[in-house]
Structure 1
Amino acid sequence: MTQHIYNGVGFNGFKLDSSLTARSSAASLKTTMRHLMSKLGLHATLFALLLSLVCWTQLAWSQDAPILAADYPDRYTVIDGDTLWGISSRFLRDPWRWPEVWQGNPQVENPDLIYPGDVLLMSFIDGKATVRSLRREVVKLLPTARAEDYSEAIPPIDPAAIQAYLNAPLVTDEEELLKAAYIVEGFDSRLLLGRYNKFYARGITDLEAKEYRVFRPGRHFKDPVTGESLGFEAKHLGDAKMLTVSDPSKLIITKSLEDITIRDRLRPVRVKEALPFFYPSAPLDSSVTGVILETPNRSTELGALSVIAINLGEREQMRPGDVLRIFSHSRTRDDPMTGEEYSTPEERVGLALIFRTFAKVSYAIITDSERQVLPGDILRSPEYEKPLVSALGASE
């Protein structure tokens, strides 16, 4: 009796490979059916065709459709100016799923970094999409590992869009504000201080710090739903350098963004903060929900590349690299015909990528927007499962 076995063993010796990609399955299926027709006859071939179509359809939707971009490249050469977000968007429909497809190179010191000149290859292993790198030449460190200059690696997102928010402003709580050192007097009784002006400060506790950020308590972030205090924005006014540690200590302003005056606060800076490396990824908690508080510059015109403050922080397990979907919040309207009130549905309007976290607040950048984003709009994990209406009108 002829044996017909699916998945790895073919019909009468013809193999139906379950690792075929959605792109290559159609051509492979056509060739296989031609052989089956000549060997098995019409009825067996129809059965094989039906089974293969089921297999191919399941494979296409379960493997490629949910994750791969429609026009993903088989091969891509990384160039200067590329970002990890941009590259993951080339290959994936859902960029936050990059960790699922990326195959690091164990022959380099940090296999997660990607450099200009690297060639990225898309392949499929057991039906699973995989992206790997043909790494450019590097300096040998050990027989099993190589060293590379991290500063040359492509960044997660465009540093120019968020550089101003890496060192400042910062978000702090009331207790930290009360403990911060503060300016008591300018030299020659100056009330307004600028670059190269010297001043006295009290409350210095870090006797080793040489560089300081000068800041002023700014907006008080409150949760719009619960009213909870989420922290105070510390507005960056400039930088200062320690001259003499005493009580009061003497410092000089090295950078001035705005006029500085008495009662402004000081925060020690040990190391210049840089853009951390991170993967785009979904939040640890798929049920997490938050809202957009506002933008650091108080703008109400929000779109792609706008920086936003949100009411989710380290307490909610937020991490740099976490991606959130943005939904327009439901609004109450009056029916123009009946006068009755109705509520507009939530609609998907974009994506936001977290790049800096604090205890109860995070900063994120809007990476994609289908229409204007507003303070008060809702944030959810991209893996949130509740069906919602797309801003383009399609039911999700």
Structure 2
Amino acid sequence: MKRAMLIVLFVFIGMTSLAETKEVVHVVKKGDTLWGISGTYLNTPLSWPLLWSRNKEITNPHLIYPGDKVIIRWIGNNVVVKVVPKEKARPVKTIKLSKSPEHMNSVIISPEYSGLIYTSKPITCQGSILKNEDGPGEFATLGDTVSIKIKPEIHPTGRLPIVSRESAIKAGGIIYGYVYRIAALARPVSRVDNMLHAKIMYSVKEVTKGDLLCKDLDIKPLTLAVSRPKLKAMGHIIGIYGETAEIGPLNVVFIDLGKKHGLKDGSLLGIYKAGSLSGPGSGGIQEGKLLVLKVLGESSMALVFESKVPLGRDVLVGDFKP
């Protein structure tokens, strides 16, 4: 997901910190996103852009246009983001934000995280990428045309999601799940028998041979109902998306706790240093906080939305402390 580019301010900030600013007005330019704009102006940019309170009137909070005005207003512990469209025919949008999911009943997750897919079995789709038609290289990106081998009975139209397999989550010789990412959206150009040519209209990462065409994949903002389960057993981190050496805010991790342990999508959990707990509810210093994005039977994918210090894999996952 591209972040906001250079910005235009219509208020004078001077020597005052953004945390003390009551209101900021940003005029949208090409390439801007609400997530990027929020991250630029809000005083905790690592956390604020990720978690959005539910607002049923806003079906796509990411959709803004050049010339629109984004007004960010601080009200107590909350922030209100108001989008005033350049064209009067479009309605004004208001989005309420909170610092952390622990203060909400439900949240909408940023597209860069809702584009991750975690499944217990490998997914099967309607086609696979063969090559980039516009260049000799193995990879394709925005504007390129790719050839896709599809099943004869499939007749894809409209936006076509292209999905890449990222990794299998393994621990102790057990495969807990499979991680995929929506890599791009493509539009059909032509078809001959079971060979489809499609142009990439939007991309998060490069498309390569073997990526999957999943035409029935439902792409929408990830909305989670927040809950605080009481665990009967401690859990462990069994994988980190991107294989970073340390764990901190914005990292996606995988844990060996799932539905059988009482978790649901939207569960809040705490991160503790190994040795600081003798069991669930036994005390100890909470070093970080997790929000479960996707729960499977015996494992889950979760987002680290807060940590006091960089953490290694040798941590425990337990009950959440506010």
List alignment gaps of at least 5 residues for structure 2: 1-21, 25-37, 39-43, 45-54, 58-72, 78-91, 102-106, 277-282
> Who is 1:35 aligned against?
none
Residue 147 of structure 2 corresponds to residue 200 of structure 1: yes
What's the counterpart of residue 293 of structure 2?
356
**Residues 167 and 178, structure 2, Cα contact 8 Å, conserved in 1:** yes
Alpha-carbon distance in structure 1 between the residues aligned to 2:213 and 2:110? 22
Distance 2:154 2:175 in 1: 28
Query: SS at 1:268's partner residue?
Result: coil
AA of the residue aligned to 2:296: A
Taking every aligned residue pair, what percent have the same amino acid on both sides? 14
Residue 215 of structure 2 is aligned to residue 268 of structure 1? yes
C-alpha displacement at 1:355, in angstroms? 4.4
Q: State the 1:185 CA deviation.
A: 3.6
Q: TM-score, normalized by length of structure 2?
A: 0.56
Who wins on radius of gyration, i.e. which is larger?
Answer: 1
Q: Contact between 1:287 and 1:380, CA under 8 Å: does it hold in 2?
A: no
Is residue 349–residue 373 contact of structure 1 (8 Å, CA) maintained in 2?
A: no
Instruction: Work out which of the residue numbers 166, 175, 181 in structure 2 matches 1:218.
Output: 166
Query: Which position in structure 2 is the counterpart of 1:378?
Result: 316
Aligned residue number for residue 386 of structure 1: none
Aligned residue in 2 for 1:184: 130
Equivalence map 1:1-396=2 (5 Å)? 152-154=95-97, 157=100, 162-167=110-115, 169-177=116-124, 179=125, 181-187=127-133, 190-192=136-138, 193-203=140-150, 207=155, 210-224=158-172, 227-244=173-190, 247-268=194-215, 272-279=219-226, 281-283=227-229, 285-314=230-259, 316-330=261-275, 348-360=285-297, 361-382=299-320
More relative contact order, 1 or 2 (CA 8 Å, 6+ apart): 2
The answer to whether the 8 Å contact 1:156/1:278 transfers is no
Structure 1's 321 and 160: CA in aligned 2 closer, same or farther, altered over 3 A?
closer
Q: Which residue of 2 aligns with 1:15?
A: none
Contact 1:195–1:253 (CA<8 Å) still a contact in 2?
A: yes
SS in 2 for 1:152: strand
Mapped to 2, the partners of 1:211 and 1:314 lie a distance apart of 33
Give, in angstroms, the shift of residue 265 of structure 1.
1.8
What CA deviation, in whole Å up to 9, does each residue of 1:113-162 have, x standing for no partner? xxx89889xxxxxxxxxxxxxxxxxxxxxxxxxxxx99623368489985
Please name the residue that 1:63 is paired with.
none
* Structure (1 or 2) with the greater strand fraction: 2
Equivalent position of 1:8 in the other structure: none
How far 1:311 moved relative to its partner?
Answer: 2.9
Distance 2:178 2:76 in 1: 45
Q: Give the match for residue 6 of structure 2.
A: none
SS of match in other structure, 1:153? strand
Whole-Å Cα distance in 1 between the matches of residues 198 and 56 of structure 2?
41
Tell me the number of residue pairs that the alignment of Structure 1 and Structure 2 aligns. Answer: 233
Instruction: Quickly say closer, same or farther: Cα 1:202–1:254, change in 2 above 3 A.
Output: same
Displacement, 1:379? 0.8
List per-residue Cα deviations over 1:225-282 (Å, max 9, x = no partner). xx32112222443332233465122211123444433222223366542241533x31
Report deviation, 1:314: 4.5
Deviation at 1:357, TM superposition (A): 0.4
* Other structure's SS at 2:225 match: coil
When the two structures are superposed, what TM-score results if normalisation uses the length of structure 1? 0.47
